[in-house]
Structure 1
């Protein structure tokens, strides 16, 4: 696993947190929730590709 992935996830988390606070303070709670959901979906998509790569590596190691 590359360290860049951890930094990307942290950057997305910081960006989503700042946007969330900005939108909540301006009275747009619905958009804040959608921003949080979008950030979560982006991070989960990144993790799913990494998990898929992990399973492919495990299959090749054990010859399955």
Structure 2
């Protein structure tokens, strides 16, 4: 796992947390929830690609192609 990926996930988390608090304080709870869900989906998509790379590496390591 690259350290760059960890920093990207942390940055997305910080941005989503700040946006969430701003939207909640302004009375827009629905938009805050949608922002949180969008951030979660972005991070999960990033992780799916990393898991796919992991499985490809395991396949090549054991010669399962």
Q: Report the secondary structure of 2:51's partner residue.
A: helix
| TM-score, normalised via structure 2 length | 0.97
Where does structure 2 lack aligned partners over 5 or more consecutive residues?
Answer: none
Distance 1:12 1:59 in 2: 31
| TM-score, normalised via structure 1 length | 0.99
Where does structure 1 lack aligned partners over 5 or more consecutive residues?
Answer: none
2:34 maps to 1:37: no
* Alignment: residue pair count: 64
Runs of 4+ in 1 over 3 A off after TM superposition: none
Shift of residue 11, structure 1, vs aligned partner = 0.2
Shift of residue 33, structure 1, vs aligned partner = 0.2
Q: Give the aligned CA root-mean-square deviation in angstroms.
A: 0.3
